[in-house]
Chain A
Amino acid sequence: MAPPANRRSSYSRRAQYSTFLSYSAGVLGAVVGIGLVVVSLVNPDMFSSLRGFASDATEPASQAAAGGRELGRNTLAEISGFLHSGSENARIRRELDEAKVRLVQAQATNAENQRLKALLGIRDGDATPVAFSRLTASTGASTRRYATLGAGRDKGVITGMPVRSPMGLVGRVLEVGASSSRVLLITDSESLVPVRRATDGVPAFAQGAADGTLRIRLINLGINPLKKGDVLVTSGSGGLYRPGTPMAIVTDLLRDGAMARVLSNPSDTDYVMVERAWAPPPPPPPAVSPDGKPLGKR
């Protein structure tokens, strides 16, 4: 393409100054960028209120986008359902008959569990969800896995609450805005969830691998007891995630652990629920001065 005629600064002082100033402004932009990066690397929560404000401001548009995604998914599901309806119907009827029997057994087991827990004096804590909402947006272009939740301080969400879908654990709340909040998904490489095997309780950690899978690291090293198809649930140690929330299924074995697929794919979830943290750490004891009086603000 032909260069525009007036790009070169000529003998005109004015043109030279404006070229110089625009270059200086460009370099200044880069320097400001370096400064911001350094500040955010040192203190990642520095800009959380700014981000919260931005996600609150774009929340109506994100909600509309979430509605559009849901519509598209439902349409596809209906078309494919129409194609396979006959065979699906027969299979589902067969499974329903089995499931009805299992449901009765599970209810009996549940009742027995309740009775035994009451005998032992174990309390389950408050299991009622704090809020139901949609995941409205996510950072699809970054290697970090954050999602935006359409509920914030207005619904009583606070930092650290676990987020789950009917299928399993999704993540935990990281930053809270007025009407939206930021969720760290379990597939982020900074997310670390204590898990155990559902059948026998082999303890492990599930760390995000940043590509949609989880890396399972066993706590007790030695012979790897995991097998393909094992289901992992949260173990509740650490006190953040409620024990027994379904989490992942093992797909590949490694020498000291496994790779696992997440059970609740966040892109297939319509609504998620925010739960209370399982057992919040107790507040620090009040500081006491040597003479026995509690320290206050001077």
Chain B
Amino acid sequence: MSFKTARNHARRSINRAPWPLMARTVPWLTVLLGSLVPSWLMIASAPVMPPIGYLIFLSWHQLRPGLLPIWAGLPLGLFDDLFSGQPFGCAVLLWSASSIVLDLVENRLPWRNFVIEWLMANGLIIAYIVLCLALANFGGAASPIRVIVPQIVIAVLAYPLVGRFVAISDRFRLTPFLVSR
């Protein structure tokens, strides 16, 4: 960062400010990492991993509305599609649609409590997994709906943990660094 912005940041607190590059990129990087992680944990012979990239994406939207722009589903979904095994474009479509839904809810229902947030997240997760199955079946597979039941349960149970992880990343993102003059 340039000298002038560094000085402006320093005036806000006593010589400390979050690093703007980190504050902007950490949400994107965590989602990208989340898209890769389920493929590394095990060589699965059934769909058992929660869609961690999508869970992190949702969680950032709920923790910091407006931090990821509405169009974030396009680049992040493209990356997820490269590794997810779904028909290409599945995540682009579903992530963009979830972004729009979350933003509408944010505008219509500005005051939300924990239960509403949790129910909304679960609804979106279940819809996402079911629609992924439907798109994969359109693409030539023939999986019955019972094979995704364990995945739905695991994803719903994993969402609070993912939320915790996102909260930690948020604190990390805004870590104030010593700004040298």
- Interface of B, secondary structure class, is helix
Which residues of the other chain, B, contact A144 by a CB distance below 8 angstroms?
85-86, 136, 141
The distance from the CB of B154 to the nearest CB of chain A, in whole angstroms, is 10
Cross-chain contact of A22 among B43, B69, B84, B111 (Cβ < 8 A): B69
Is A141 a contact partner of B71 (Cβ separation < 8 A)? no
CA distance A3 to B41 in the complex (A): 37
We find that the number of chain B residues with CB closer than 8 angstroms to chain A is: 65
User: With an 8 A cutoff between CB atoms, is B138 at the interface?
Assistant: yes
User: With an 8 A cutoff between CB atoms, is A89 at the interface?
Assistant: no
Is B46 a contact partner of A187 (Cβ separation < 8 A)? yes
Which residues of the other chain, A, contact B93 by a CB distance below 8 angstroms?
30, 33-34, 36-37
Name the residue of chain B whose CB is nearest to the CB of A27: B100
User: With an 8 A cutoff between CB atoms, is B14 at the interface?
Assistant: no
Which residues of the other chain, A, contact B94 by a CB distance below 8 angstroms?
33
Name the residue of chain B whose CB is nearest to the CB of A65: B40
The distance from the CB of B106 to the nearest CB of chain A, in whole angstroms, is 7
CA distance A82 to B42 in the complex (A): 25
Is B100 a contact partner of A210 (Cβ separation < 8 A)? no
Known: A40-B139, A41-B138. A50 touches B46 (CB 8 A): no
The distance from the CB of A271 to the nearest CB of chain B, in whole angstroms, is 12
Is B70 a contact partner of A210 (Cβ separation < 8 A)? no
Which residues of the other chain, A, contact B138 by a CB distance below 8 angstroms?
41
**Interface membership of chain B positions 120-154, coded 1 if the CB is closer than 8 angstroms to chain A and 0 otherwise:** 00000000000011011111111110111001000
CA distance A209 to B142 in the complex (A): 8
CA distance A67 to B138 in the complex (A): 35
User: With an 8 A cutoff between CB atoms, is B161 at the interface?
Assistant: no
CA distance A47 to B133 in the complex (A): 20
Is B132 a contact partner of A54 (Cβ separation < 8 A)? no
Known: A29-B96, A50-B82, A187-B46. A138 touches B107 (CB 8 A): no
The distance from the CB of A177 to the nearest CB of chain B, in whole angstroms, is 12
Is A142 a contact partner of B45 (Cβ separation < 8 A)? no
Cross-chain contact of A139 among B39, B96, B137 (Cβ < 8 A): B39
Name the residue of chain B whose CB is nearest to the CB of A191: B141
List CB contacts (< 8 Å) of B78-92 with chain A: 81-92
CA distance A139 to B87 in the complex (A): 12
The distance from the CB of B104 to the nearest CB of chain A, in whole angstroms, is 10
User: With an 8 A cutoff between CB atoms, is A162 at the interface?
Assistant: no
Is B71 a contact partner of A140 (Cβ separation < 8 A)? no
Is B46 a contact partner of A210 (Cβ separation < 8 A)? yes
Is A4 a contact partner of B66 (Cβ separation < 8 A)? yes
> Which of A2, A27, A30, A146 has the most chain B CB atoms closer than 10 A to its own CB?
A30
Besides A69-B40, A140-B47, 16 new A-B residue pairs in contact (Cβ under 8 A), listed by A number: A3-B111, A7-B107, A25-B69, A27-B100, A29-B77, A29-B96, A30-B97, A35-B89, A37-B93, A39-B88, A41-B138, A44-B139, A137-B39, A138-B44, A190-B141, A212-B46
* Residues of chain B whose beta carbon lies under 8 Å from any beta carbon of chain A: 36, 38-52, 65-66, 69-71, 73-74, 77, 81-97, 99-100, 103, 106-107, 110-112, 132-133, 135-144, 146-148, 151
Q: List 8 A-B contacts (CB under 8 A).
A: A7-B107, A30-B97, A32-B74, A33-B89, A36-B81, A41-B138, A44-B139, A210-B142
